[in-house]
Amino acid sequence: PSEPTGTVPAPASTATSLVIDAFGNKNTNALGQWHGTEDEGLTITYGSNKMTLKTADADLGWFTQVADTCRDMTAFDGSYLHIAYTGSNKFTVSLQQHNEKCNNDVQPYPATWDSLEATRYATATDIYIPMNHFNIDRSKVIGVALKGFYSTAATVFSKIEVVSTVPSAFKVPVKLPSGNFVFACKRPNSFAFAIDDGDPAFAQQVMRVIDDAGFKATFFTVGAPLLDPSTNLSNVYREMESKGHQIALHSYTHPPLEGLVDEAAIDWEYTNDLKAVTQVFGQGQKARYFRPPFGTEGARMRQRYAALVPDPYIVQWSVDIEDWLWAETSTPEKQIDAFKRDVAAGGSITVMHYLYNSTVSYLPQFIAIAKASGKQLMRVDQCMMDPNAPPL
């Protein structure tokens, strides 16, 4: 796919430089802050002032923090994030933003981040990204993430820093739109049940429970099953929409999008999903809200969706029911514990699937817990204060 070809000369900044990581220690960076990962499946090898990363999973990431909580990085708005590397540049660079309270015990944490495609900003040995290309609140920075790897080839990193100038021959590419990446509601005291596809056999029960509770929810639907007559999902979701629930998108075949081989494969998922939803529901605002399958996020999947759908919302979550972890175990009630934990921490957008009998049977309890928090239950677009959303 074509992209804007214009580049802009790299201006100089008056801010001083800041070395974040020189990979001299396995546990801490040059600022004395934590670096590393909690993800299994990421092969990390440390050498003399260098680190090699290798993975086949786009969902994994490595992090280096600039503060225990928040660091105000706005003084570097005219500067550049510089990453010295060799090897593959097929990955995402993210700058993470903390929540409003800069509190690690409050959900969501992180509150959001912006993701940029390393290869667009790279030479063979250096990546230079303008700090102001990261569309976040840069007064509340947590750190840098290297993630969204879509090649199994290794990358060797030797420095991560902020610099005030770049080589004179380097031209900065234009910043591509990457959508609104959200984990929590914007509307004060609001809460949204955001529900992904599940077993069609449970769909009517889910709808009945929600209707009885007297609120509207958001359903993220996968395109291929929606078009499959044997699932009856098209009729189910038409009925949900007719009752005022929000229908949103969740890809066509549910792959980890950032891990797909190229942009054409990502676009295929989006265009077919958009066609499926249009075929079933007609044109409308449904396309603006999208949830990445498995929560796998990266620069390419965000940029491509924003190229197809203006100013989209890429919706994650801050309340994880953990049905994927507990629903089919001997302790399915731990789904309730997980829900209570995240609601108590301030979470306001759920992720759940109506795949399992236990999850669906607990839905009235989840709703009661959310209502007891004092928050008003509503659709995701309503909790985002979207002017195109139905009035409350």
- 3-state secondary structure (DSSP) of residue 235: helix
Average pLDDT over residues 117-138: 99
CA distance 337 to 340: 5
The pLDDT assigned to 10 comes to 55
Least confident of 35-44, 48-57, 99-108, 275-284: 275-284
Residues in the chain: 392
Q: Both tokens of residue 89?
A: 């540049």
Q: What residues contact residue 166 under an 8 Å CB cut-off, 6+ apart? A: 10, 80, 82, 128, 172
- Going by C-alpha positions, the residue among 210, 225, 322 that lies closest to residue 280 is 225
Q: What residues contact residue 122 under an 8 Å CB cut-off, 6+ apart? A: 85, 89
CA distance 36 to 158: 14
The pLDDT assigned to 12 comes to 52
Dihedral, 313, 96, 295, 61 alpha carbons, nearest 10: 150
Least confident of 2-6, 132-136, 356-360: 2-6
The pLDDT assigned to 6 comes to 53
Q: Both tokens of residue 82?
A: 């510089």
Compute the Cα dihedral for 264, 266, 272, 274 and give only its sign: negative
Other CB atoms closer than 10 Å to residue 231's CB: what's the count? 18
What proportions of the chain, in percent to the nearest 5, are helix, strand and coil? 30, 25, 45
* Partner residues linked to 87 by β-bridges: 155
pLDDT digits (tens, 9 = 90+) for 320-370: 999 999 999 999 999 999 999 999 999 999 999 999 999 999 999 999 999
Q: Both tokens of residue 213?
A: 């509770």
Yes or no: say if 191 and 373 are a contact pair by the CB < 8 Å rule.
Answer: yes
* Partner residues linked to 126 by β-bridges: 84
Q: Both tokens of residue 282?
A: 């007609």
**Dihedrals phi, psi of 148, to nearest 5 degrees:** 60, 40
Mean residue pLDDT across the chain: 95
Yes or no: say if 197 and 220 are a contact pair by the CB < 8 Å rule.
Answer: yes
Yes or no: say if 194 and 315 are a contact pair by the CB < 8 Å rule.
Answer: yes
The pLDDT assigned to 5 comes to 46
Other CB atoms closer than 10 Å to residue 68's CB: what's the count? 12
Percent over 90 (pLDDT), the chain:
94
Q: Model-level pTM greater than 0.75?
A: yes
Split at pLDDT 50, 70, 90, the class of 15 is: low
* Intervals of CATH 2.60.120.430 along the chain: 15-164
pLDDT of 2 higher than 50: no
Split at pLDDT 50, 70, 90, the class of 286 is: confident
In 133-245, where do the E strands start and end? 141-147, 155-163, 171-173, 180-182, 190-192, 194-196, 218-221
CA distance 302 to 290: 10
Compute the Cα dihedral for 185, 187, 192, 196 and give only its sign: negative
What is the architecture of the domain spanning 181-383?
A: Alpha-Beta Barrel (3.20)
The pLDDT assigned to 149 comes to 98
The pLDDT assigned to 41 comes to 94
Average pLDDT over residues 156-178: 97
Instruction: Please name the residue ranges forming H helices in the chain.
Output: 200-213, 223-227, 233-242, 263-281, 299-308, 323-326, 334-344, 357-372, 380-383
CATH number of the domain at 15-164, please? 2.60.120.430
CA distance 213 to 364: 8
pLDDT digits (tens, 9 = 90+) for 190-210: 999 999 999 999 999 999 999
Yes or no: say if 33 and 143 are a contact pair by the CB < 8 Å rule.
Answer: yes
354: Cα within 13 Å, side-chain hemisphere: 25
Q: How far are the Cα atoms of 69, 72, 248, 299 from residue 103, in angstroms, in the given order? A: 7, 15, 31, 26
